[in-house]
Amino acid sequence: MSAEIETTPAIAEKIFGDRLPIAQAYHDSLATTAAERGFIGPKEVSRLWSRHILNCAVISEAFDQDLSVADIGSGAGLPGVPLAIARPDLKITLIEPLLKRSNYLAEIKEELGLDNVTVIRGRAEDQSKGAFDVVTSRAVAPLGKLAGWSLPLVKKGGAMVAMKGSSVSEELERDAEQITQAGGGAGEIFIVGESVLEEPTTLIKIPRVR
């Protein structure tokens, strides 16, 4: 299996700095434990850095200092764990409904010594309302449904910041009514990681206005 594992790219040090060893340990866990448990597909093991860890870490560009951030539907910890490694000033809560995955997240928190991470097993819609400055997610649901889960958890004046693909502008137009009903304002689509990644990350930010 070791032959299939992607070597650490040089750019990872620029993104993680002196916390690169923690990011490497997370990479190794994803490539072994998470893959063995079926949380990471076999084809993804060879591109964990480029397709998963780094493109999640660069979303830190969208966050101010010392915010409370929830990652809903965290799965194997993406994007919340790379974000927590890159930005120890952020208080990250990983929310994951499935027991096996939430157990893995608890293990990772301990193994990596991530004091700024809290793990909650549960559904986003069952969490405390207005508890976070920002709610983030990756590949969880269509935008309208995602807004319905995310925005109620955001403090008024905060925002949801979701990783999305190239069709996000179509989603924004299609789901405008659902976003408004969830308390969202005008969505902003922007790119992060352009200076460090060959394939930058697309984000959509929707503020909670009511």
| CA separation for the pair 191, 54 (Å, rounded) | 14
User: Could you tell me if residue 137 is inside a domain?
Assistant: yes
User: Could you tell me if residue 180 is inside a domain?
Assistant: yes
User: Could you tell me if residue 185 is inside a domain?
Assistant: yes
User: Could you tell me if residue 41 is inside a domain?
Assistant: no
The pTM of the full predicted model, rounded to 2 decimals, is: 0.95
For tokens 């591109």, name the residue: 47
**How many CB atoms sit inside 10 A of residue 157's CB?**
9
What residues make up the domain containing 134?
Answer: 59-207
Helices marked H in 122-167? 143-150
Total domains in the fold of the chain: 1
Beta-sheet pairing, 132-138 with 154-164:
parallel
Extract the tokens encoding 199.
Answer: 């394939």
- CATH number, domain containing residue 92: 3.40.50.150
Q: Is 39 helix (H, G, I), strand (E, B) or coil?
A: coil
For tokens 């101010």, name the residue: 64
- The predicted pLDDT at position 139 comes to 83
- The predicted pLDDT at position 5 comes to 77
User: Could you tell me if residue 49 is inside a domain?
Assistant: no
Angle at the Cα of 83 (from 145 to 115), degrees rounded to 5?
Answer: 115
Consecutive 10-residue averages of pLDDT for the chain (210 residues): 73 97 98 97 94 97 98 98 98 98 98 98 96 95 96 97 95 97 97 94 97
